[in-house]
Amino acid sequence: MRLLSMIAEGRRRAGLVVGNEVLDLTDFAEILEEKGEWIEAGAGPEYHHLEGLFQDVLDAFHCGSQCRLSIRSRLSGDPLLTQECRDRNALVALDQVKLGSPVASPSKILAVGLNYREHAEEQGAQLPEAPLIFSKCTTALIGHGQAIRLPKISDKIDYEAELAVVIGQEARSVKAADALDYVAGYTIMNDVTARDLQRRERQWVRAKGLDTFAPCGPWMVTPDEVGDPHSLDIELRLNGEVRQKSNTSKLIFKIPELIEFASQDLTLRPGDIISTGTPPGVGFAREVPSFLKAGDKIEITIEKIGTLVNHVVGPE
C-alpha cells in the first residue's frame, strides 16, 4: 500500500492512497467513532477502534496490515461511507493534497556512498570493501513538491537519485537474514550534494546535509506491494532530460547487508531512513560538468514506488 504524510490546515496527517484519492486516516477514525464502528485488526476475530492522531506514515504502518486492508475494503464495499468521506473532505483527490516527507521526524538519515559500480567508475573511485555510510541532517528533509533551495555557500549543487528504506521497528545488531523484517517500506530520496564542499572539506556533513538537501517521497510503499527491492528500474530526469537510468539489481551492497552493517552497535529506530546509493549519471561527472540552477525541475521515478518531483529555487 502507498502511505503518505500530508499537510492540512498547518498539521501533518497520515494518508492512505486509494486509487487517485487520499484517505485522511485521522478524519476517517473520527467518522467511524461517530458511528460506533470498528475495524478488523488481525487474522482472527479481533477488532479495534481507530483513534488518536495519525501524523505520518509510521502511524499508518503501525496500524497493521490487516487494519489497512480492512479500511480499503470498507471503502470499496460501502459507497455511502465513501461518499460521506468525500463530503467531509476525509477522502480527497491526490493532486489536491500537499505532501510532506513520508516520515515527519526520523532520528537519523543514513546514506550509502559508491554503491553502484558504474557510479564509482565515472568518478575514478575504488570500489568500497564495506558499505560507505554517512549521515544527512534531518533538517535537510523536505517532501514531494517542495523546493530545493540553492545555498549561498556553494554553486556546484548536484542531484543523486536513490532508493530509500524506512525502518519500521527498533533494530540493533540484526543479521542480514532477518533484516527485511525490520523494513516498514520503501520511498525515494534525492541525495542533493554540494560538490565543492564535498571535495574541499573531505567529509560530507555540510556537503550532503544543508537545508532542503534531502527531498524524500512522494510516499512510502509497503514491502508487500514492492516485492523484490533489488529489481526496480530507477531514473532521474532534469528538465525532462534523462540523466540517470539504472536498476537496483546493480546495488553492490544489498539492503539486508546495509541494515546489518549499519545496525551493528548503532540502534536504528522506527522512521529512520537508509538511502541506498546512486547510479551513474550525476552532474559533476559529465564530460562538461553540469550543476543545478534556479528553475530546474528534477523528477525521480522508481518502479513500483512512484515519482518524486522537486523544483530548484535560488538562495533566500
Task: State the alpha helices, DSSP H only, in the chain.
Answer: 25-35, 57-62, 65-77, 79-87, 117-122, 195-201, 205-209, 223-226, 255-262
Q: Answer whether residue 18 shows pLDDT above 80.
A: yes
Q: Are 278 and 252 in contact (CB under 8 A)?
A: no
How many Cβ atoms from other residues are within 10 Å of residue 7's Cβ? 14
Beta bridge partners of 237: 242, 299
Q: Answer whether residue 272 shows pLDDT above 70.
A: yes
Beta bridge partners of 164: 187, 275
Q: Answer whether residue 255 shows pLDDT above 70.
A: yes
User: What confidence category does residue 37 fall into, taking pLDDT thresholds of 50, 70 and 90?
Assistant: confident
User: What confidence category does residue 228 fall into, taking pLDDT thresholds of 50, 70 and 90?
Assistant: very high
pLDDT at 41: 55
Grid coordinates representing 6?
500530508
First-residue to last-residue Cα distance in the chain: 37
Beta bridge partners of 161: 190
Residues of the chain with pLDDT > 70, as a percent, come to: 96
The whole-chain average pLDDT of the chain stands at 93
64: left (phi > 0), else alpha (psi -120 to 50), else beta?
Answer: left
Who's near 57: CB < 8 A, 6+ residues apart? 3, 4, 5, 14, 102, 103, 166, 184, 185, 219, 220
User: What confidence category does residue 253 fall into, taking pLDDT thresholds of 50, 70 and 90?
Assistant: very high
Where exactly does CATH 3.90.850.10 map onto the chain?
Answer: 109-313
Mean pLDDT of 164-170: 97
pLDDT at 270: 96
252: left (phi > 0), else alpha (psi -120 to 50), else beta?
Answer: alpha
* pTM for the structure as a whole: 0.95
Mean pLDDT of 126-143: 96
Domain spanning 109-313, CATH class? alpha beta
Three-class DSSP category at 60: helix
- Please, which contacts does 70-77 make with residues 24 or more away whose CB atoms are closer than 8 Å? 70/39, 70/40, 70/41, 71/16, 71/23, 71/25, 71/28, 71/39, 72/1, 72/16, 72/18, 74/39, 75/18, 75/23
Please write the tens of the pLDDT for every residue from 69-104. 888 888 888 999 999 999 999 999 999 999 999 998
